[in-house]
Amino acid sequence: MTETKSYKIAWLPGDGIGPEVTREALRVLDAVASAHDFAFTAEEHPMGGAALDETGVPFPDDTRAACRESDAVLLGAVGGPKWDDTTGDQRPESGLLALRKALGVYANLRPVRVPEALASASPLRPDRVGGTDLLFVRELTGGIYFGTPEGRTDDGARSTMVYTEAEIERIAHVAFQRAQRRDGHVTSVDKANVLEVSKLWREVVTRVGEEHYPDVTLRHLYVDNAAMQVVRDPQQFDVVLTGNLFGDILSDLAAALPGSLGLLPSASVGGTVGLFEPVHGSAPDIAGADTANPIGTLLSAALLLDELGEPGAADAVRHGVDATLNAGFRTADLAADDEDAASTSTFGHEVATRAAEHAQKNTSASLP
Ligand code: IPM
Ligand code: MN
């Protein structure tokens, strides 16, 4: 008998809708665990504005230590109007940046798929967005988010976009390797017609591609053109490689394709421990109302399972989400005016039931 594996998940609910959407993700993880022969513990730790209120800082040392000792970090969202007057290190958002830096997770993976059931609800033409399946590989621990010098000057302020060759190389490798496992195309996004740092980005990405990945096609787009192309014809993309700032902007833009920011998951990897969080923010206006869309977080939990080496359980979660949408359940952000909206917890419960059924069906076949 082999012992059941047990994973330690650091659970950082954070602010706004963070607690309610991550709670549903834990429910769904729980629903697929036993069929896939693993167990997990989820220990809650303060983060963001909640941590600021509780401890005086947005990313407490205890939270940092717990994240480092975990197998994976599941995060809700941080920030809100209550902390809008905070500055510098006291901002909930700086806590998030410090967390990413502390874990060394330089590669932010943001897949964008338009589920068939939702293509007709897209603000764009269904024939254009249906079948969209692209992956943003966004550099996450460098660029203008972290460059120095930074701050106020006598007569203004400055932020600096800095990339070393090594930082560009390692994120380029991630993008090319992901493309090898997908359709074999990388689109690298930059502003090489203006920015020196983008000229280097383009050179290094080209070199990495030529030297190591002759089987992957590479093209370059300026970021302004990329924004237009993502909306005009999203099906042309496979892997989209970007720096930190351009990836932040383009991934929110791409969220318009399936029609709600609430649908998109993310995984931040490349360090010792992976960080999994929905792309959306804390949505303070609907916090605690049990109306938020948990899909982005549920799909982040699927990415977490992939990263832990539990692809079967990850598929069960994704199946649960698709099957719940196909059964007609819609949270308020997706429901048509004449449709009843499912609450966050109802939606999570429906996904958990379907994911568990799928998990049992697909594992019982392999029992002796
Ligand atoms: C995101 C968010 C963060 C970012 C903020 C909250 C710091 O917008 O994860 O996309 O800009 O990276
Ligand atoms: Mn963002």
- φ and ψ at residue 306, rounded to 5 degrees: -55, -45
Q: Per-residue pLDDT tens for 324-338? A: 999 999 999 999 888
Nearest alpha carbon, ligand 1 atom 10: 248
Q: pLDDT value at position 365?
A: 58
How many other CB atoms sit within 10 Å of the CB of residue 19?
Answer: 19
What secondary structure letter does DSSP report for 189? E
Question: In order of start, what are the domains of the chain with their CATH numbers?
Answer: 1-112+260-368 (3.40.718.10), 133-256 (3.40.718.10)
| Cα 10 to ligand 1 centroid, rounded to whole Å | 20
List beta partners, residue 43: 10
Which residue type occupies 162? V
Among 71-75, 271-275, 332-336, 343-347, whose mean pLDDT is lowest?
Answer: 332-336
Atom of ligand 1 nearest to the CA of 252: 10
| Cα 49 to ligand 2 centroid, rounded to whole Å | 17
Give yes or no: 53 in active site: no
Mean pLDDT of 47-64: 98
Instruction: Considering only residues 202 and 120, tell me which one the structure prediction assigns the higher pLDDT.
Output: 202
Give yes or no: 361 in active site: no
Which residue type occupies 225? N
Q: Provide the terminal-to-terminal Cα distance of the chain, rounded to the nearest Å.
A: 13
Among 63-72, 220-229, 249-258, whose mean pLDDT is lowest?
Answer: 249-258
pTM, whole model, 2 decimals?
0.96
Q: pLDDT value at position 259?
A: 87
Give yes or no: 127 in active site: no
| Residue of 248, 280, 297 to test ligand 1 pocket, by largest number of atoms within 8 Å of CB | 248
- Selecting among 7, 106, 145, 163, the annotated active-site residue is 145
| CB 108 within 8 Å of CB 241 | no
Rounded distance between C-alpha atoms, residue 57 and residue 197, angstroms: 33
Atom of ligand 1 nearest to the CA of 97: 7
| Cα 252 to ligand 1 centroid, rounded to whole Å | 10
Q: pLDDT value at position 116?
A: 83
Mean pLDDT of 92-106: 97
Per-residue pLDDT band for 5 (boundaries 50, 70, 90) equals very high
Q: Per-residue pLDDT tens for 335-345? A: 988 889 999 99
Among 10-19, 58-67, 116-125, whose mean pLDDT is lowest?
Answer: 116-125
Q: pLDDT value at position 363?
A: 85
Mean pLDDT of 84-93: 93
pLDDT tops 80 at residue 258: yes
Give percent of the chain with pLDDT exceeding 70.
98
Q: How many residues are listed for the chain in this entry?
A: 368
Nearest alpha carbon, ligand 1 atom 8: 248
Nearest alpha carbon, ligand 1 atom 11: 248
Burial class from Cβ neighbours inside 10 Å (0-12, 13-18, 19+) for residue 243 reads: buried
Give yes or no: 248 in active site: yes
Give yes or no: 306 in active site: no
What secondary structure letter does DSSP report for 36? G
pLDDT tops 70 at residue 2: no
| Cα 248 to ligand 2 centroid, rounded to whole Å | 5
Query: Burial letters for 77-107: b for 16+ Cβ neighbours within 10 Å, e otherwise?
Result: bbbbeebeebeeeebbbbbbbebbbbbebbb
Q: pLDDT value at position 366?
A: 55
Tokens of 227: 């924004």
Per-residue pLDDT band for 7 (boundaries 50, 70, 90) equals very high
Per-residue pLDDT band for 169 (boundaries 50, 70, 90) equals very high
Asked if residue 93 has its Cβ within 6 Å of ligand 1, the reply is yes
Q: 């990415």: which residue's tokens?
A: 303
Q: pLDDT value at position 1?
A: 55
Mean pLDDT of 86-99: 95
Atom of ligand 1 nearest to the CA of 100: 12
Q: Per-residue pLDDT tens for 186-202? A: 999 999 999 999 999 99
Q: Per-residue pLDDT tens for 275-298? A: 999 999 999 999 999 999 999 999
Mean pLDDT of 221-233: 97
Asked if residue 96 has its Cβ within 6 Å of ligand 1, the reply is yes
| Cα 297 to ligand 1 centroid, rounded to whole Å | 15
Q: Per-residue pLDDT tens for 347-366? A: 999 999 999 999 999 887 55
Q: pLDDT value at position 207?
A: 98
